[in-house]
Amino acid sequence: MTTTPPALLIAGHGTSDTDGAEQFRAFTERVGKRLAPRGVTVGGGFIELSPPPLGEAVAELVAGGHRRLAAVPLMLVAAGHAKGDIPAALAREQLRHPGLAVSYGRPLGAHPTVLALLRERLAQAQADPADPDQSAMVLLVGRGSTDPDANAEVARAARLLAETARVAGVEYAFISLASPGVPAGLDRCTALGARRIVVLPYFLFTGVLPRRVAEQAAAWAAVHPDVDVRCADVLGDTDALADLLIERYGEALAGDIRMNCDSCVYRVSLPGFEDRVGAPQTPHHHPGDAGHSHDHRPDHSHGHSHEHGHSHDHGVFHADIHHRHP
């Protein structure tokens, strides 16, 4: 008797940028094609801003006969959305679909595949046949979060990139909710002596925030004509990224979820974040959900964090949704 493998549910953040949302859908299709020979059905949805909402994607998989899902957050860092919004939304879907079993995976993180893609985007941006040295300073720009652990992951990625790429050095900055911002990050690079800087967006796909990174870099460069500033592309929809997400799918099914809990504000009392410990876990409502009344603003703009009261209990937080840590 042939057993149907659990479906893969790809959970995205969502964006008001049409191109960014389309890149997510194209990536979901790419993953589906790569898993088709194994008989795995793939669906994808967003927690906000873009269709289809996560609940709709789950409903479609359930309508197709799937009672077991492995959900993977398509995100680079484990901030409030991956730690709370998505798990809570999945718990809500289990209430809507009794008997549905969901295993939860981990974000992509600073995996060697991600670092390799960053090096590729870096090489594309600084390629200059007249300069064989290619030793620019790099400014890695992440989304930014109110979660210090998530911001620390961006700093970690910057250091790993510095250790694995031929560059003069790697600094980091954020486009939203955390400092330093892009202009301050560029100032720091020049203070260290940089005369060529590659701004490297730490984003999967295009969107409001990656475009803002490029705009701020261009504005800074306009008043610093003595510095060669180049902005690289986002990681993008690639086979390598698809294979990494499939790896996370396998981990979720095997229960091999290795997360960093030592500095998680939902588990550990950090100075200034004591109120986050054990905070109630609530779903992040998508505009398509019934009873939706939350005022969403595009991609964390206007200082709105979209990170509201997430618990992170590092165990079975609802029925069969697992977030296990050895």
Q: Provide the residue type at 166 as one letter.
A: R
Query: Which of 231, 246, 265 finishes a domain?
Result: 231
- Tell me: do 99 and 244 sit in the same domain: yes
DSSP tag of 281: P
Helices 54-63/86-96 angle, 10° precision: 40
Query: Which of 180, 205, 231 finishes a domain?
Result: 231
Averaged pLDDT for residues 219-247: 97
- In this predicted structure, the answer to whether residue 254 has a pLDDT above a threshold of 50 is yes
Quick check: is 2 in a domain? no
Please name the helix (run of DSSP H) or strand (run of DSSP E) that holds residue 173, with its range, or none. strand 169-174
- SS3 for 227-280 is CEEEECCCCCCCHHHHHHHHHHHHHHHHCCCCCCCCCCCCCCCCCCCHHHCCCC
- Tell me: do 216 and 242 sit in the same domain: no
Neighbours of 64 (CB within 10 A): 11
- Tell me: do 70 and 127 sit in the same domain: no
> Is the Cα dihedral 166, 167, 170, 176 positive or negative?
negative
User: Are the beta carbons of 146 and 80 closer than 8 angstroms?
Assistant: yes
**3-state SS, residue 317:** strand
Task: Give me the torsion for CA of 317, 204, 289, 72, rounded to 10°.
Answer: -30
Quick check: is 31 in a domain? yes
| Neighbour-count burial for 76-94, b at 16+ CB within 10 Å, e otherwise | bbbbbbbbbbbbbbbbbbb
Quick check: is 209 in a domain? yes
Q: Is the pLDDT higher at 117 or at 49?
A: 117
- Tell me: do 77 and 181 sit in the same domain: no
Quick check: is 145 in a domain? yes
201 pairs with which residues across the strands?
141
- Tell me: do 118 and 227 sit in the same domain: yes
- Tell me: do 67 and 84 sit in the same domain: yes
Give Cα 111 distance to the centre of its chain: 12
Q: What CATH number has the domain bearing residue 55?
A: 3.40.50.1400
- Tell me: do 306 and 318 sit in the same domain: yes
Quick check: is 285 in a domain? yes
The count of residues in the chain is 326
Quick check: is 103 in a domain? yes
- In this predicted structure, the answer to whether residue 326 has a pLDDT above a threshold of 50 is no
- Tell me: do 226 and 242 sit in the same domain: no
The proportion of the chain whose per-residue pLDDT surpasses 90, expressed as a percent, equals 69
Give Cα 115 distance to the centre of its chain: 14
- Tell me: do 141 and 227 sit in the same domain: yes
pLDDT tens string 136-157: 999 999 999 999 999 999 999 9
Rounded Cα distance, 244 and 324, in Å: 19
- Tell me: do 122 and 191 sit in the same domain: yes
Query: Which of 203, 231, 259 finishes a domain?
Result: 231
Structure tokens belonging to residue 186 = 């560029």
Total domains in the fold of the chain: 2
Rounded Cα distance, 5 and 70, in Å: 10
Q: Is residue 298 reached through a cis peptide bond, with omega within 30 degrees of 0 on the bond before it?
A: no
pLDDT tens string 157-198: 999 999 999 899 999 999 999 999 999 999 999 999 999 999
What is the model's pTM? 0.81
- Tell me: do 102 and 126 sit in the same domain: no
The predicted structure's pLDDT at residue 318: 38
What is the distance in angstroms between the CA of the first residue and the CA of the last residue of the chain?
Answer: 33
Quick check: is 1 in a domain? no
**In the Cβ-directed half-sphere of 85, how many Cα atoms lie within 13 Å?**
24
pLDDT tens string 46-96: 998 899 999 999 999 999 999 999 999 999 998 888 888 899 999 999 999
Mean predicted lDDT score pLDDT of the chain: 85
- Tell me: do 136 and 190 sit in the same domain: yes
Quick check: is 163 in a domain? yes
At 261, the pLDDT band (50, 70, 90 cuts) reads low
Residues spanned by the domain of 214:
112-231
> Is the Cα dihedral 42, 48, 49, 55 positive or negative?
positive
